[in-house]
Amino acid sequence: MKLDVDVLRYLSKDDFRVLTAVELGMRNHEIVPTELIDRIARLKHGGTYKVLKNLLKHKLLHHDSSKYDGFRLTYLGYDYLAIKTMVNKGVFVGVGRQIGVGKESDIFEVVCEDGTVLAMKLHRLGRVSFRAVKSKRDYLRHRSSYNWLYLSRLAALKEFAFMKALETHSFPVPKAVEHNRHCVVMSLVQGYPLVQVKQLQNPEIVFETILGIVVRLAEHGLIHCDFNEFNIMIDDDEKITMIDFPQMVSVSHRNAQMYFDRDVECIFKFFRKRFNLSFQESIDDNDDSDEGKDEDGRPCFSEIERSAGFLDKELAASGFTRKDEEDIQRFIEGGAEAETNSDSEVDSVEDLNESILLQDEEHENKGKDESCEAAESSASEREDATDEEENEMENEAELTKSLNKQRRHAIAATRRGRKSHASRNSYKDKGGRSSHNSKLQKQLSGW
Which sequence positions are flagged as catalytic?
226
CB neighbour class for 213 (10 Å; exposed up to 12, middle 13-18, buried from 19): buried
Q: How many CA atoms lie within 13 A of 381 on its CB side?
A: 6
| β-bridge pairing 192-193 and 222-223 | unpaired
The CA distances from residue 24 to 18, 180, 321, 441, in Å, are 10, 15, 32, 111
Angstrom distance (rounded) from CA 410 to CA 393: 26
**Dihedral (Cα; 360, 366, 367, 371), 10-degree rounding:** 170
Angstrom distance (rounded) from CA 159 to CA 315: 10
Interacting residues of 72 by C-beta distance below 8 A, sequence separation 6+: 22, 26, 30, 31, 32, 61, 62, 64
Comparing CA positions, the residue from 264, 245, 250 lying closest to residue 306 is 250
Angstrom distance (rounded) from CA 25 to CA 17: 12
Concatenated DSSP letters of 306-360: --S--HHHHHT-BT--HHHHHHHHHHHHSHHHHHHTHHHHHHHHHHHHHHHHHHH
Angstrom distance (rounded) from CA 50 to CA 76: 19
Neighbours of 142 (CB within 10 A): 4
Angstrom distance (rounded) from CA 248 to CA 214: 12
